[in-house]
Structure 1
Amino acid sequence: MKAHLFGSAATVGIVALLLEPRLALAQTAAGGTSSPAPAPIDAAAPGTASESRPQPPSTAEPIQNDRAVPSPTSSGLEDIVVTAQRRAENLQRAAIAVTAVSGDSLIRAGVTDSSQLTRLVPALQISNVSGPINAFYLRGVGNFVVNSLSDPAIAFNVDGVNFARPTSSQGVFYDLERVEVLKGPQGTLYGRNATGGAINVITVKPKLSEFSGYGNFEYGNYDSKKVTAAINIPFGDNNALRVAGQYVDRDGTYSDGTGDDKRKAIRATFASQVTSGFKLTVSADYEHQGGVGPGATVVGLNKDDRIGLFDPRAEAIITRSFSFGLGGNTLNALVPDYYNRNNFWGVYAQADVTTPVGTLTVLPAFRRSTLDYRSYAGGFAFTNQEVNKQASVEVRLASDGTGPLSYILGGFYMHETTSTHVNYDQQYYSAYAVFHPVTDSYAGFARLTYRLFDKLRLTGGIRYTIDAKQADLRSLNAVAICPTGSCPGTPAFPDTVAVPAFLAGADGTGVPFQPYGPGGAFANSSLSTLNASKTFKKPTYRAGLEYDVAPASMVYATFETGFKSGGFYSSIDTPTFNPETINAFTLGSKNRFLDNRLQLNIEAYRWTYKGQQIAHFRNNSQGGSEFVTENIGTTRLQGVEVEAQARVFKATTLNATAQYLDAKYVSFRYGNSASVGPPVTGCIVSGPVDAQFTVDCSGRRPSQAPEWTLSGGIEQRIPLGNAGNLTFTAQTRYQSGTYTGFELLAAEYQRAYSMTDLELIYAPSGARFTIAAFANNVGNANVTAFSQPHPQAPSLVVENLRDPRLYGVRLGAKF
């Protein structure tokens, strides 16, 4: 299989080699025999050409002038400039697996939070599972990061600043130049290490000596109102200020009003070209997230009706679900006391200084998140009050890339502190916890590229990571016990972050076996504590080879390792987990044919994922359930991704992407307490032995890892003479079936589905405004993004759905 995958990529390189004379001739006709500098423009959506006027990239990174593909002709595809490798370079010359999505494409797709990126990037699976929490998976690599005790496997960066908590990734999707999705382990170029990949969000920077701005207003179904605006104000020739903001107000998409989107955000960025060799950029941003947050439905109900958990039809199923924690009792109806009151803000400064040995970049940043929300999206009350602070600084020295040796040297430091008060209220089991984790992350990294011959380059990179972690954890765990087997009228435990007075003694410890409720039940509470510290250290590295098969074609091969440190979680049993690592082989080819009218990129990969950190609910020895993180052994992920784009006519562009993913748990075994019977899982269960069941998922396909993901689209411009022009776009995405929950239950399986987005834009001739009509998910496919069984009533499985059909009109104006 491995040879077959890599052979496919090599075939493209051979084809390009056979076409080399024709490509060279086409390049000569275009204006020369040497590769000129790329024409930097705003990046386009994957497989979609950008029709906007080329603009220089808003970055101070040095541009790799010596490795650019020929500039496009008027009938050819536009170039895309990315900074995925810390240099502004043509996407077609970046020897890395990366997909770029332009800011215009994000607007047209209606993207206001990170979970909606799934529609635009085939390899990416993102779901909004609770409050502001997103679960990121890239080619099957990811983790369900619900609290501050574990780190994401996919790094999220905005303008080079790493966001340590995925909760902070929601309110940044406005006034963007582009989003870059890097696939595979990252570390030799970026501040924070990541095992699965990185999402880089690049905002539009101030434009010197230019007074300009724009405004977009959108109205759609679910009474959706969205306003995005920006203004660019110059101060002399060398200074400029850009202020951008967004307001979003959309009603809930579930029948009970949950699943709404209510946010407001603002960002101000100041740029100054202090001298010819010194540029300073300072930025500050703020976002408030309100409303009630994400919703969910019950497996077994018609998903097309989007029946929320507080709908009487769902309530009827919930109140018939037996809770093993209280014998024969059923769950109570949920109380609709959900809310979202979350605030995020941050500042950063970037200084770029030109020196004789390269560009020195210093990037200090500070971010603060204040979370206060209660969500029932998991089928139970999850209340979180958290203050997260992170301070970081990154220093890089990058050569100008003109000589045979190019280099990037850097260092990174981040200090993160979190104070969390959280309550997992599963009715007859409740955990009232306080987390105070502290992380100090240090890293040094380097990337070298050496041109061995005119067309052949060798790349090497290394990183050394030190993560020092401390954890001060306290959790009072309460469980309701029914000695008679039937205790009618037993109430749910209070869903507050403060410990109820009747559950704690004077010294803060639990109260054993006290009467609880009118039906003869008892409440037993106990205190678990952990005060620990540990330092994790690991070198990671990258080796690669790049070869220019033709002026517009290249092949590359890389091997890279990744690392994510271990940590702690709140538990009465074994509250630590180990680091995870990944080894990634990649063979790829990037090509332009037919005078830049056809683009064909192909990548084959094989990843070996060891010690993957999985977060999930697990039974503990007291009869309750805990949210734990543990390592699962080895996962193998391999596949092929093909991206094609063609300018078939001057006004017609086609695009297509196909990803095949062969994913398998090679070794995946974990224990589960036998205190309340066999665990709920679709895997093989054996035991119990020593009061532990063993769950074996070896040989199974991981969750969030579809075998096939396909997308294709068309962009058609229709000239209307003096009246202006119309632009029609259609984009379809198909995904094969996949498990959406950790347990791999049949009820958690999402069958194959497809979604289609349509848009029609009218631009009057000579006018500075546009009118558009759009419809996303035209077929109204209601599909599951994430699912899980209720921890105390496993027959009840809840699922979070992706957005339904959203349609409306959009007005845009610029000056």
Structure 2
Amino acid sequence: MKRFPQHVSFVAMAMAALPAVAQAQSANGDAAAGQLGEIIVTAERVSQSQQKTPLAIDVVSASELANQRVTRAEDLSRTSPALAAIGGSGGTTTFYLRGVGNNTVNAYSDPAIAFNYDGVYVGRPSSTSGVFYDLARVEVLKGPQGTLYGRNATGGAINVIPNRPKLNTTGVEGNVGYGNFDWLTLQGAVNLPVGENVAIRAAGNLSHHDAFLSDGTGNQREEGARVQIYAEPSADLDLRLAFDYAHQGGASASGYYVGSVNPTFGPTGFAGYRFTPSGLSTQQGTGDPASQALLASRFLAQAGRAGAVQDGRPSNDNSYWGVTGELNYKTDGGTLTIQPAWREASLDYVFTNIFREAASKEKDRQASVEARWAGKFGDQVDYLVGGMYFDERISATARYNQLTLTPFQSFKTSTESWAGFGKVTFRPVEELSLTAAGRYTSDKKTFNGLSQVYILFCGQPGIGNVCPTLPLMPRVQSAADLEAFYTSNGVRITNVPLFVLPPVAGGSTTAPFVLRSPIPINSGLKNDKFTYRLAAQYDFSPRNMVYASFETGYHAGGFSFARGLESYAPETLDAYTIGTKNRFLDNKLQINLEGFLWKYRNQQFSQFGYDLGSPPSTVFLTRNIGNSTIKGFDLDVELLPASNTLLSASVQYLDTSYDSFVYFVPNQGLPPNTACPFTPQTQTTPGGVINVFAIDCSGRPAFNAPKWSVTLNGQQTIPLDTVKLVLQANTRFRSANFVSADYLPYLKAPSTYVTTLSATIAAEDDRWSLTGYMFNLENNQRIVNPFTNSANLVVANAEQPRTYGIRAGFKF
């Protein structure tokens, strides 16, 4: 933190000479008139000014999305101090808002942050790709959305809103960009009128770049297209039909080796764990020759040998498409809105990271319909009532080769959810608004599947057996193929560990074997919850107001392929908020401030760990781990000191603490590698009594939640006869924070700055433009998503490296 004031002072001086771009006002503001403009949002399901909306909301304009090179959902974290968006395999993105979120990396866990595309809730975190082009804006809503939005919005919502067709307007716009890593981007949109009452808008997108990592992974091959038809048969009725398609190729990043973890021993026995940095860079993928040599040198105690390789090759072949309809019918009594939607995804991807090779094939489809009625009772009462139905069906197969353990999974899961909601705002006097809103949600989920788990042993663990020629888990497609492989190599496959059997039954403490450990699940869950919001707003003037609210949020329970931990319960969040939004200096200065206190209960937590089987298996599971308290403030400032100068700053301060955070791992002799206190216990499971360690991380801060997040922005426009020069800079500071719940010092992301610079020559009317840019000037790559593999090597991903290039745009 000592560098923080110095760096901010430097950036502030640089911005005085070379101001940078503001997030949304530059696109929507009236800078030519010397005043900040209004941004219209739909955060409360009706169109209104952002400054009149009593919510904490970051609005990201289309120009800022282009400036920050947002081509995937994970890139959104560069646009909002409150948001952490972490990319994963197969297009999966995990979102955290103000420290609230969960690692949703498979098809049977749901996100805690609602992702809404074109007004439609998207249930799969793997289906948020391919939509970031020809957008009007992105709205990031902070805090539980327990009344008006979708489902499972414990920590907030992200609304991605495309540009819509315009009547009686012919227009063409587009841009092309090229940069390092051979990064080619193409975007275009055409708006065509069809008579006086119908318009069509078609848009497309392409983003291709070479690998960010030395092993050829982390490359991008994505394309998308969207077509919309809009009609106004009468002044009271409008209809819209939208179709979109996207394909994702390329490969997920393999990750890099942070270092190795080794137990140490002294005269009295176990003396702790020693971490040794790998010496490899963040861009040396796990398939790099140096990385492979490091892996091969590691001794796998369970297999009794060294010499492992990672020979899987990451790839993506994922397709997404959807159809959305929207009807708005206006009457003297109010407006009816109906929005049905259908979305499908077909995923086929391979990834590595901590695995030798992992792969998933998945078919998703969701159907939804939402209906709303918004009206007024006189001048004092506004109301909105509505309902939503959501139905999701998923069929998937997956395999996860961890060198000494491989599960082969096959499952079908479904979610049926319906909700009724309403909101009433009453104004007893003109300046005061009182709001009450509520939502009743009913979720029904089913899960039917089998995980066939195979675990390789070189005899009895812990007695130092050596099996130098024992084959590690092969890269095969099915459980039958794996059994045939080991049978042909003379390795016994058994449902019971050989070391627990007597010799007369074929038992042995030294003979290698493969343990077959199936995990079947055929179960269902039904959760329902009433959530609500109470709020008050007082307008001191047309440009100054204060607000306060209390709101509750809810996230449904679900399933995991983990013995003894097959299901988990819903989580809830209570949010207390007080804030103020203001314009001063004849609409040249905007200051918004919000303070918040969140109480998180029965929190869901997803991580790689052991289940409670005997013996245990390494699995990715979700469980309820306790409660937490999150408090802090957001400060957003925008200033037009001159008609061609725009400055802004966003600051978020977070104080987070887990009030109770307890989870269990099997006791296999050595203590767990964690900075949290732990105690040995026994636990009764369906398979019998097992020894475990209870790990207590209570009192620790939330991970993925930096205490300070600061973004400084500005823009300077310099008129040059018939053209203009626009100079831009942006820097984002995040203080150090843990990125894993083990709270180990080497899993703490350091304080970093990421700065973007650009210069644009454009026509006065913006009909054409040419931009040169550099993103991540410092080339700072924070650690994200760390895990430990079977060789006790810590594998993690890193944020995007420095990129630079040019971009040309046109519109007419």
The TM-score normalised by the length of structure 2 is: 0.89
Q: 2:168 aligns with which of 196, 202, 209?
A: 209
In the TM superposition, residue 131 of structure 1 has moved relative to its aligned partner by 2.3
Tell me how far apart the structure 1 counterparts of residues 629 and 192 of structure 2 sit (CA, whole Å). 51
Tell me how far apart the structure 2 counterparts of residues 170 and 303 of structure 1 sit (CA, whole Å). 30
- Indicate if the aligned counterparts of 2:589 and 2:638 stay in contact, CA closer than 8 A: yes
| Gap change, CA 1:557 and 1:324, over 3 Å in 2 | farther
In the TM superposition, residue 149 of structure 1 has moved relative to its aligned partner by 1.3
The answer for unaligned runs of 5 or more in structure 1 is: 1-43, 55-71
Q: Where does 1:533-612 land on structure 2 (aligned, <5 Å)?
A: 533-612=524-603
Q: Where does 1:525-540 land on structure 2 (aligned, <5 Å)?
A: 525-540=516-531
- Could you say what secondary structure the match of 1:200 adopts? strand
| Gap change, CA 1:81 and 1:161, over 3 Å in 2 | same
User: What is the aligned partner in structure 2 of residue 271 from structure 1?
Assistant: 230
> 1:204-226, CA deviations, whole angstroms, 9 ceiling, x for partnerless residues?
00011111011200000001101
RMSD of aligned C-alpha atoms?
Answer: 2.1
Tell me how far apart the structure 2 counterparts of residues 331 and 238 of structure 1 sit (CA, whole Å). 69
| Gap change, CA 1:321 and 1:702, over 3 Å in 2 | farther
- Could you say what secondary structure the match of 2:126 adopts? helix
User: What is the aligned partner in structure 1 of residue 15 from structure 2?
Assistant: none
Tell me how far apart the structure 1 counterparts of residues 561 and 201 of structure 2 sit (CA, whole Å). 44
Tell me how far apart the structure 2 counterparts of residues 461 and 46 of structure 1 sit (CA, whole Å). 33
User: What is the aligned partner in structure 1 of residue 240 from structure 2?
Assistant: 281
Letter in 1 for 2:666: S
Pair 1:474 & 2:450 matched: yes
- Indicate if the aligned counterparts of 2:344 and 2:363 stay in contact, CA closer than 8 A: yes
Letter in 2 for 1:416: E
User: What is the aligned partner in structure 2 of residue 617 from structure 1?
Assistant: 608
> 1:614-650, CA deviations, whole angstroms, 9 ceiling, x for partnerless residues?
1111223324211111001101100011000100111
- Indicate if the aligned counterparts of 2:347 and 2:360 stay in contact, CA closer than 8 A: yes
Tell me how far apart the structure 2 counterparts of residues 685 and 322 of structure 1 sit (CA, whole Å). 27
Pair 1:259 & 2:258 matched: no
In the TM superposition, residue 301 of structure 1 has moved relative to its aligned partner by 4.1
Q: Where does 1:340-359 land on structure 2 (aligned, <5 Å)?
A: 340-359=316-335
User: What is the aligned partner in structure 2 of residue 490 from structure 1?
Assistant: 470
- Indicate if the aligned counterparts of 1:619 and 1:675 stay in contact, CA closer than 8 A: no
- Indicate if the aligned counterparts of 1:102 and 1:179 stay in contact, CA closer than 8 A: yes
> 1:285-332, CA deviations, whole angstroms, 9 ceiling, x for partnerless residues?
111100122231111345755111111222222223343533x43461
The answer for unaligned runs of 5 or more in structure 2 is: 1-19, 259-276, 488-492, 499-505, 683-689
Tell me how far apart the structure 1 counterparts of residues 378 and 469 of structure 2 sit (CA, whole Å). 76
Q: 2:658 aligns with which of 642, 665, 675?
A: 665
User: What is the aligned partner in structure 1 of residue 421 from structure 2?
Assistant: 445
In the TM superposition, residue 675 of structure 1 has moved relative to its aligned partner by 3.8
Letter in 1 for 2:698: S
In the TM superposition, residue 441 of structure 1 has moved relative to its aligned partner by 0.5
Letter in 1 for 2:315: Y
In the TM superposition, residue 567 of structure 1 has moved relative to its aligned partner by 1.5
Pair 1:316 & 2:307 matched: no
- Indicate if the aligned counterparts of 1:618 and 1:626 stay in contact, CA closer than 8 A: yes
- Indicate if the aligned counterparts of 1:231 and 1:243 stay in contact, CA closer than 8 A: yes
Q: Where does 1:14-29 land on structure 2 (aligned, <5 Å)?
A: none
In the TM superposition, residue 403 of structure 1 has moved relative to its aligned partner by 2.3
Q: 2:798 aligns with which of 796, 801, 813?
A: 801
- Could you say what secondary structure the match of 2:153 adopts? coil
Letter in 1 for 2:524: S
Tell me how far apart the structure 1 counterparts of residues 477 and 66 of structure 2 sit (CA, whole Å). 38
- Decide which moves more: 619-628 or 533-542: 619-628
Pair 1:144 & 2:124 matched: no
Tell me how far apart the structure 1 counterparts of residues 397 and 476 of structure 2 sit (CA, whole Å). 9
In the TM superposition, residue 498 of structure 1 has moved relative to its aligned partner by 2.5
In the TM superposition, residue 355 of structure 1 has moved relative to its aligned partner by 2.3
- Could you say what secondary structure the match of 1:92 adopts? helix
- Could you say what secondary structure the match of 1:452 adopts? strand
> 1:692-746, CA deviations, whole angstroms, 9 ceiling, x for partnerless residues?
1101100111210100001102100011123x11001100000000111232222
User: What is the aligned partner in structure 1 of residue 752 from structure 2?
Assistant: 753
User: What is the aligned partner in structure 2 of residue 4 from structure 1?
Assistant: none
Letter in 1 for 2:404: Y
User: What is the aligned partner in structure 1 of residue 262 from structure 2?
Assistant: none
Tell me how far apart the structure 2 counterparts of residues 754 and 283 of structure 1 sit (CA, whole Å). 39
User: What is the aligned partner in structure 1 of residue 263 from structure 2?
Assistant: none
User: What is the aligned partner in structure 2 of residue 739 from structure 1?
Assistant: 738
The structure with more strand, counted as a fraction of residues: 2
Q: 1:339 aligns with which of 280, 290, 315?
A: 315
User: What is the aligned partner in structure 2 of residue 174 from structure 1?
Assistant: 133
- Indicate if the aligned counterparts of 2:175 and 2:186 stay in contact, CA closer than 8 A: yes
Tell me how far apart the structure 2 counterparts of residues 383 and 333 of structure 1 sit (CA, whole Å). 17
The TM-score normalised by the length of structure 1 is: 0.88
In the TM superposition, residue 520 of structure 1 has moved relative to its aligned partner by 5.5
Tell me how far apart the structure 2 counterparts of residues 314 and 49 of structure 1 sit (CA, whole Å). 46
| Gap change, CA 1:145 and 1:401, over 3 Å in 2 | farther
User: What is the aligned partner in structure 2 of residue 464 from structure 1?
Assistant: 440
- Could you say what secondary structure the match of 1:633 adopts? strand
Q: Where does 1:604-753 land on structure 2 (aligned, <5 Å)?
A: 604-620=595-611, 621=613, 622-675=615-668, 677-689=670-682, 690-722=690-722, 724-753=723-752
Q: Where does 1:497-512 land on structure 2 (aligned, <5 Å)?
A: 497-503=477-483
Letter in 1 for 2:774: A
- Indicate if the aligned counterparts of 2:282 and 2:797 stay in contact, CA closer than 8 A: no
In the TM superposition, residue 571 of structure 1 has moved relative to its aligned partner by 1.8
- Indicate if the aligned counterparts of 1:423 and 1:495 stay in contact, CA closer than 8 A: no
Tell me how far apart the structure 1 counterparts of residues 494 and 236 of structure 2 sit (CA, whole Å). 64
| Gap change, CA 1:259 and 1:302, over 3 Å in 2 | farther
> 1:80-125, CA deviations, whole angstroms, 9 ceiling, x for partnerless residues?
1111111111111100010000112111211100111111100000
Letter in 2 for 1:702: A
| Gap change, CA 1:369 and 1:331, over 3 Å in 2 | farther
- Indicate if the aligned counterparts of 1:46 and 1:99 stay in contact, CA closer than 8 A: no
Letter in 2 for 1:799: A
Percent of pairs with identical residues = 37
User: What is the aligned partner in structure 1 of residue 431 from structure 2?
Assistant: 455
- Could you say what secondary structure the match of 1:317 adopts? helix
| Gap change, CA 1:73 and 1:173, over 3 Å in 2 | closer
- Could you say what secondary structure the match of 1:78 adopts? coil
- Indicate if the aligned counterparts of 1:740 and 1:786 stay in contact, CA closer than 8 A: yes
- Could you say what secondary structure the match of 1:571 adopts? coil
Letter in 1 for 2:446: Q
User: What is the aligned partner in structure 1 of residue 12 from structure 2?
Assistant: none
In the TM superposition, residue 682 of structure 1 has moved relative to its aligned partner by 2.6
User: What is the aligned partner in structure 1 of residue 205 from structure 2?
Assistant: 246
Tell me how far apart the structure 1 counterparts of residues 161 and 410 of structure 2 sit (CA, whole Å). 35
- Indicate if the aligned counterparts of 2:778 and 2:802 stay in contact, CA closer than 8 A: yes
User: What is the aligned partner in structure 1 of residue 366 from structure 2?
Assistant: 390
In the TM superposition, residue 274 of structure 1 has moved relative to its aligned partner by 1.7
Q: 1:125 aligns with which of 78, 84, 89?
A: 84
